[in-house]
Amino acid sequence: MAELAYVNGTLSAIESARVPIEDRGYQFGDAVYEFIASYNGTLFCLEEHLDRLERSLRGLDFSPIPRDGIRKAILMLFEKASISRAGIYIQISRGAAPRNHLFPKSTSPQVVMTIREVEEKPAELRKNGAAAITVEDFRWGRCDLKTVQLLPNVLAKQKAIDAGAFDAIFISEGIVREATSSNFSIVSGGGIITHPLNQNILPGITRMVIIDLCKELKIPVHERFFNTEELFRADEAFLTGTVTEVLPIVQVDRRRIGEGRVGPVTQRLYEALRERAGA
């Protein structure tokens, strides 16, 4: 078992991996990324992550990159590392070129990856739920593309940690969007309410799986806008994400959500997700 890096076809220890100083991902945030996790030695939703990666690349007007080549590189790295519960980070930049805002006329994309063991969320959070704060959404206008332009997310996450919370939830003119690295949903009247897919939130893979599981479990799902008033009246609330999985939020801005403990719908969805993933 080894944590490894992949840089344009070359494997190495993560500490020794290097990319050019004029990489456009470093200088302009001109790059997209994905994060894929495995359970018991099997990558979960690999093709769905590749679908989203391709969508992000198209959204930034990247030249086409063969999907099969990216898939083979991921699987090769996964096999070499031999980590049962792995997290693979994939980043593709437009390439390295002399610094210029204009797209370079001829350059090759930089494909870098790392693989590490997934750092599981503390069992206490799963058992007791987590707290969050709300922050004004000051991100760029294409949150549906998974780019490396994450400074607003970083600042919001740090603000949450400094306030003694687990995460921050972005709010725009009273509308609840999502958290810093996870989608956000509430439970009201036994059904799920989650922000509709548009340019203001990321089309989460785990979000997609949860909606599908809700169909199997006969849990109503409403993809619509909801505001902070509905949030504070909700019975339950939870985050969804590749590593977050389904994480209960029991307090927002120091106000209790529902009964202030992990609710039955959230717990049921967490168990169903783990079962679907083969955990």
Q: Which residues are catalytic?
A: 146
Q: CA-to-CA distance for 11 and 81, rounded, in angstroms?
A: 10
Q: At what angle do helices 264-277 and 205-217 cross, to 10 degrees?
A: 110
Kindly state the tokens that stand for 250: 């029991």
CA separation for the pair 65, 217 (Å, rounded): 38
Contact 231, 261 (CB under 8 A): no
DSSP 25: H
Q: Which tokens sit at 187?
A: 């439970």
> What is the Cα–Cα distance from 6 to 11, expressed in whole angstroms?
5
Widest distance between CA atoms in the chain? 58
**Closest Cα partner for 203 from 67, 55, 82?**
55
**268-279 exposure pattern, b = at least 16 Cβ within 10 A, e = fewer:** ebbebbeebbee
Strands 236-241 and 245-252, by their bridges, are antiparallel
Query: Any bridge partners for residue 31, and if so which?
Result: 93
